Structure 1
Amino acid sequence: MAVDFEQIRNNKTAVRNLPAPLADTAALEAVVGSILADNPFGCVAYESGGETIPGVVRGREQYTARIVYLDGDGKKAGAATVTAGTTAGMNAAADAVLADAALTAAVGGTPQRDANKDSYSCQLKCHDPNGETYTLTFGRKAVRLTSYEDDAILDAVEDWADTVVSLS
């Protein structure tokens, strides 16, 4: 006789698509930094593995820069992307690609940074006073709230996001 899986939690996901992409990584860091500094959701520290974990912590981060190579007519001859775990790493890698004469010769054209095609994200892990741990992921074009059960968490995040100009 087979034993069935039984649902024990009701984790939810919600997405806010931004009306305009975040302008750059500084805009992303301003939003993330304000949450880390001000803790607008009232997150609380907790114990895990004998360690005290702050109520809000950075999780995974990813920053990707796009470089396009344009021919003499301004048409795209090629492209390159570089990805790093920090803004500084992304910018340093992009600068290295832009300065790489051998790569430029191989691809052809003139390299230019296409900042409008850059992408980036930063994940925050938040521990709600009700005991839930949920994730807020900030990207260039959207904010994603995942792994929450209590709709009060969504309400708090929505109310806060409504007050942040770059998110509303």
Structure 2
Amino acid sequence: MAIAIVYGSSGGNTEGVAKKIQATLGMDARVFDIGSADAATLNTFDTFIFGTSTWYDGELQDDWESFNTDTLELVGKRVALFGLGDQEGYGHEFCNGMGILHEVCTDKGAVMIGGDWPVKGYDFEASEAVKNGAFVGLAIDEDNQDELTDERIDTWVERLKAQL
């Protein structure tokens, strides 16, 4: 089973997390930058891990914003999400980009996996990435909690493997 890990990164943090997830998975996973990805290639995969940071006023990262998600064929395909945000500087919209991607994927008929990530251990006011009291995917804060990133990735990937 091949997995496409697709990220959008402006400053490099989301790319770094995508590569750490790839290494931790230990499975056949290819990493793609959404800024140069081709929908025809992505549509050959049946399992995805999408990652984005949150920019501006709680929006998707620029490359994700520019990509035509209508070209993605996600009906019945498994999709997990990870998102990066700054809970101290932007705690009122922490990881909103991940919440936006979640909506896109569910609207396109994806089977969401890797969700129900606990909000415990984070300190933020609001997030579109929280549904039913938990994050819809892995939430990472490289600005304020970078010392927790590797542990969070390890724990999330182990949970995710059980759903693959």
Q: TM-score range by the shorter chain?
A: under 0.3
Rg (Cα) greater in structure: 1
Q: Using structure 1 for the length normalisation, give the TM-score.
A: 0.27
Bigger share in strand: 1
Higher relative contact order (CA 8 A, sep 6+): 1
